[in-house]
Amino acid sequence: MRTAKINRKTGETDITVELNIDDQTEIAIDTGVGFFNHMLTLFAKHGRFGLKVKAIGDLDVDAHHTVEDTGIVLGECFKQALGKKEQIERYGNAFVPMDETLAQVTVDLSGRSYLIFNAQLDNPRLGNFETEITEDFFQALAFNTEMNLHANVLYGRNTHHKIEALFKATARAMRAAVTINPEIRGVNSTKGVI
């Protein structure tokens, strides 16, 4: 089983993430940020990941540290659980519609960190979630997983729908990328490492 459990404690947050790439039996999310809980829950569901997140942060300031630091720890969990990345497909791509919105996410578990984020989020807040930190979450996830992550909202109107489509598309793209293919010998790279 490809699993990881990591705790990261700073002066701003105390975050524990448990990830099971291969068994979705348990999803339990508690970050203190309702909209973010919803996004992580659907990320786990649509990626078919077992995911437990317990985050305590300085929400009296805002949700930024909690959301970004959760992205850091989730990325570290993916990196640890994937290990040497032997026999994984490595690449994943997904289009996800959400009513009037269409998002596309493409990932490469290359060992190189990069984020392209194209989404106009017109509503600045959804509950106690500042929508501009969506990009910060994906930046932290990409850099700590050590993957290329291209996240694009192709069109849409509703900010909630745009962010939800991005989380679902990222989950589905990552599910494709982490899938084991027995026809791949070693890692899916001519370099011999990813």
Domains in the chain: ranges and CATH: 3-178 (3.30.230.40)
- Comparing CA positions, the residue from 19, 52, 37, 51 lying closest to residue 128 is 37
Distance of CA 98 to the CA centre of its chain: 18
Cα(16)–Cα(28) distance, integer angstroms: 12
Contacts by 189-194, CB closer than 8 A, 24 or more apart:
189/90, 189/110, 193/84, 193/111, 194/85, 194/90, 194/109, 194/110, 194/111
96 token code pair = 């996800």
Residues 12 and 1: their CA atoms lie apart, in Å, by 32
Taking the C-alpha atoms of residue 172 and residue 43, their distance in angstroms, rounded to an integer, is 8
How are beta strands 148-155 and 129-130 bridged, if at all? unpaired
Tell me if the pTM is above 0.85.
Answer: yes
What is the model's pLDDT at position 25? Answer: 85
pLDDT tens by residue, the chain, 194 residues: 899 999 999 999 999 999 999 999 899 999 999 999 999 999 999 999 999 999 999 999 999 999 999 999 999 999 999 999 999 999 999 999 999 999 999 999 999 999 999 999 999 999 999 999 999 999 999 999 999 999 999 999 999 999 999 999 999 999 999 999 999 999 999 998 89
Residue 107, token pair as written in the block: 């990932």
